[in-house]
Amino acid sequence: MSNPVIDVRNLTKDYGKGRGVFDVSFRVEPGEVFGFLGSNGAGKTVTMRHLMGFIRPQKGTASVLGLDCFNQRALIQGHLGYLPGEIAVADDMTGIAFLTFMAKMKGIRNLDYMHQLIERFQLDPKPKIRKMSKGTKQKVGLVCAFMGKPQVLLLDEPTSGLDPLMQGLFIQLVLEHRQMGATVFLSSHIFEEVERTCDRVAFIREGRLAAIRSMDEVSASRTHSYQVTFADSQQLQLFADKAHQGIAIEPATEHQGSRTLLVSADGSVDSLVKELANYSVESLLSREQSLEEMFMGFYGKEGSER
């Protein structure tokens, strides 16, 4: 087995009141896109900041390219592209001045790829950063992270503020850099972004790692969820009172009304439609399962793992 590009072992940083990360361990292999997923406050950014060398662990270790993230951070950052969750840059600089300055700091002499990325993301880098929208600032951050074609990319919520077209361009960019041999550590809450880019994913909950799975395993674990509205409450009750193989029923929220149920089907939609054909149904709407719901269901079946 090759040496991991990112190696985190028993990483702990306790901020009190359950905040921080606790005994977190994982490895990211060369050329892998590794998704790091969880709700707000779960520990994603704290872990990312350890990898950048901004925080000293209370316990455990974090290394990138075999180098200690805190003690050898200057050496690591020469091989790193980083996009923070909250971009904080000199507001009085123009976008192009900031990118040129960062290229100089990174030792990038050929700026051709930087300009290609600016054009690709349809970025106007001339205005001052303080006048830019959140989405435009995000584009500046993405160009900065990718322009040196780094060996390792650490990306914290990289498409925050971007429209669907730009999100698609970002996905293409990640896949291209993976083909170049880059290793990518990606924090995100957008399932399509994760599904199309990641080889494996880890889910962190309340500062502790719940499990690590291949993307194929995660995709196979998704349930198909639907909102069913019956013709009347009596039809709903008849459906709800009967046992249905492979179909789970949840009560709808109050604003959805007394004729609506939320239904999850383990099998194909075909079996659900055939079952519903025995009742008077007014509408059947596909309901997008959130990333957190999917993972909670996935790990709920097997319990927490390390």
Predicted confidence band of residue 295 (pLDDT cuts 50, 70, 90): low
pLDDT exceeds 60 at position 231 = yes
Kindly state whether residues 66 and 171 are assigned to the same domain: yes
User: In which residue are the tokens 């060369």 written?
Assistant: 30
Region 257-278: mean pLDDT is 81
Query: Does residue 53 come out as left (phi exceeding 0), alpha (psi in the -120 to 50 range) or beta?
Result: left
Q: What rounded mean pLDDT belongs to the chain? A: 88
Choose among 47, 3, 2: nearest CA to 22: 47
Kindly state whether residues 157 and 59 are assigned to the same domain: yes
pLDDT of residue 68: 97
Kindly state whether residues 169 and 277 are assigned to the same domain: no
What is the span of the domain harbouring residue 254?
224-288
Kindly state whether residues 74 and 128 are assigned to the same domain: no
Kindly state whether residues 114 and 100 are assigned to the same domain: yes
pLDDT in tens, 196-220: 899 999 989 899 998 899 988 877 7
Domain final residue pick, 148, 173, 199 = 148
Kindly state whether residues 97 and 230 are assigned to the same domain: no
The whole-angstrom separation of Cα 272 and Cα 257 is 21
pLDDT of residue 268: 66
Residue 169 contacts by C-beta under 8 Å, 6 or more apart in sequence?
A: 120, 121
The whole-angstrom separation of Cα 291 and Cα 38 is 8
The whole-angstrom separation of Cα 104 and Cα 154 is 20
pLDDT exceeds 90 at position 97 = yes
Region 78-103: mean pLDDT is 90
Region 219-232: mean pLDDT is 81
- DSSP labels, 75-96: HHHTTEEEE-SS----TTSBHH
pLDDT of residue 62: 97
φ and ψ at 151, to 5 degrees?
-70, -30
Cross-sheet strand order for the sheet of 59-64: 19-28, 6-16, 59-64, 67-68
Among the residue ranges 131-145, 187-201, 227-241, 283-297, the one predicted with the least confidence is 283-297
Kindly state whether residues 7 and 118 are assigned to the same domain: no
Read off the CATH number of the domain in which 252 is found.
3.30.70
Kindly state whether residues 278 and 193 are assigned to the same domain: no
pLDDT of residue 2: 77
Task: Count up the domains in the chain and report the number.
Answer: 3
Predicted confidence band of residue 305 (pLDDT cuts 50, 70, 90): very low
Q: Cα separations (Å) of 85 from 40, 72, 174?
A: 11, 23, 17
pLDDT in tens, 25-66: 999 999 999 999 887 888 999 999 999 999 999 999 999 999
